[in-house]
């Protein structure tokens, strides 16, 4: 696949767990099918924050990567998030998904320790140079504490297989500078609630957790904004953000999973230390479903 073909709307895939925190394979398959058949996404971003990836073992990560490929086949695009504090694990996973036929890998900036930029650059080059694939940097400063400057992105992009960034930040000045500086690189909007302004700044696509339930509206926002129909896109972003505000206020991942349960999808539990959804949260999610999702 050529790198430009990776553009579009990608759901950050949720993982269904059983009550004990084991992967619920059937549920994972149902979530994937829902994204492909109902949300009509262009692709899946597998193994990201939304997949609760940092809470599971290497074998579990592989299992989810394999299930996603089995369901998606070559019908939609697949990006595997393989970043980890254990670089050996990242390399192992990068090889695994490349053999499976994933279209690109992605890796979160290494977090927890205060790595220097040289160390971060070495991490990315080491991972992507171990496989014949493309890499998309996963930048999410509010969770990792890692900020990369325009110039530093340029240094990372010197490796021609580092083809883009998943930009999960509210820094529209940086986004505009990146767009101007690297017109050939792929930029994916990472905050669903800021999709419209990111699209106006000419991102190539978006990767989001809420697309698992609201993917139809996400595509509308993206396409209307690309066509310059900003007023129409704004209206859909408004409704979307009413929903996202309610979801964030009720607990992001448990609410997304319960919104899928209400549609007959066995989205399961979150993994500890995330808590089990309460009856009160379920009631609020039911209202959201009726108000925002039932009729789209
Ligand atoms: O993949 C997601 N980030 C996280 C990106 O889950 C940390 C976003 O889709 C957000 O969940 C979403 C709600 O803030 O924009």
SS (H, E, C) 55-92: HCCHHHHHHHHHHHHHHHCCCCEEEEECCCCCHHHHHH
Question: Which pLDDT tens digit goes with each residue over 107-143?
Answer: 999 999 999 999 999 999 999 999 999 999 999 999 9
Q: Does the Cβ of 190 fall within 6 Å of ligand 1? A: yes
Residue 123 annotated as catalytic: no
User: 41, 50, 247, 253: which to mutate for ligand 1, most atoms within 8 A of CB?
Assistant: 50
Domain containing residue 100: CATH number: 3.20.20.70
| Residue 269: C-alpha distances to residues 22, 71, 110, 150, 222 (Å) | 9, 21, 27, 39, 31
Q: Which residues form the domain of 152?
A: 3-229
Q: Flag whether 270 is in a domain.
A: no
Return the SS3 of 138: strand
Q: Flag whether 239 is in a domain.
A: no
Q: Flag whether 266 is in a domain.
A: no
Q: Which of 20, 30, 60 is nearest to 212 (CA)?
A: 30
Which of 45, 96, 134, 138 does the annotation list as catalytic?
Answer: 138
Other beta carbons within 10 angstroms of residue 19's beta carbon come to: 9
For tokens 């220097």, what's the residue? Answer: 116
Q: Flag whether 234 is in a domain.
A: no
Distance 48 CA to ligand 1 centre (A): 10
Per-residue pLDDT of the chain (296 residues; tens, 9 = 90+): 778 899 999 999 999 999 999 999 999 999 999 999 999 999 999 999 999 999 999 999 999 999 999 999 999 999 999 999 999 999 999 999 999 999 999 999 999 999 999 999 999 999 999 999 999 999 999 999 999 999 999 999 999 999 999 999 999 999 999 999 999 999 999 999 999 999 999 999 999 999 999 999 999 999 999 999 999 999 999 999 999 999 999 999 999 999 999 999 999 999 999 999 999 999 999 999 999 999 98
Tokens in use for 63?
């299992």
Average pLDDT, the chain: 98
Distance 136 CA to ligand 1 centre (A): 17
Q: Flag whether 267 is in a domain.
A: no
What domain count does the chain have? 1
Q: Flag whether 269 is in a domain.
A: no
Residue 7 annotated as catalytic: no
Q: Does the Cβ of 214 fall within 6 Å of ligand 1? A: no
């Amino acid at each position: 696949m050529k790198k430009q073909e990776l553009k579009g709307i990608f759901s950050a895939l949720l993982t269904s767990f059983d009550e004990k925190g084991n992967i619920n394979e059937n549920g994972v398959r149902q979530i994937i099918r829902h994204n492909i058949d109902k949300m009509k996404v262009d692709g899946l971003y597998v193994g990201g924050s939304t997949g609760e990836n940092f809470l599971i073992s290497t074998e579990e990560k592989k299992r989810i990567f394999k299930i996603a490929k089995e369901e998606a086949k070559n019908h939609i695009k697949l990006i595997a998030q393989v970043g980890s504090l254990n670089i050996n694990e990242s390399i192992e996973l990068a090889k695994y998904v490349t053999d499976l036929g994933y279209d690109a890998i992605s890796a979160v900036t290494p977090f927890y320790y205060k790595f220097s930029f040289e160390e971060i650059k070495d991490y990315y080059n080491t991972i992507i140079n171990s496989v014949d694939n493309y890499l998309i940097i996963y930048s999410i400063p509010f969770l990792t504490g890692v900020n990369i400057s325009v110039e530093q992105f340029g240094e990372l992009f010197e490796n021609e297989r580092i083809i883009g960034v998943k930009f999960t930040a509210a820094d529209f000045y940086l986004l505009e500078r990146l767009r101007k500086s690297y017109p050939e690189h792929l930029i994916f909007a990472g905050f669903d609630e800021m999709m419209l302004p990111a699209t106006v700044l000419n991102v190539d696509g978006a990767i989001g957790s809420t697309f698992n339930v609201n993917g139809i509206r996400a595509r509308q926002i993206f396409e209307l904004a690309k066509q310059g129909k900003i007023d129409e896109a704004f209206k859909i972003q408004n409704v979307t953000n009413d929903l996202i505000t309610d979801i964030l206020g009720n607990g992001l991942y448990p609410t997304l999973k319960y919104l899928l349960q209400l549609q007959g999808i066995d989205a399961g539990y979150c993994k500890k230390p995330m808590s089990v959804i309460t009856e009160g949260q379920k009631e609020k999610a039911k209202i959201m479903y009726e108000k925002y999702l039932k009729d789209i």
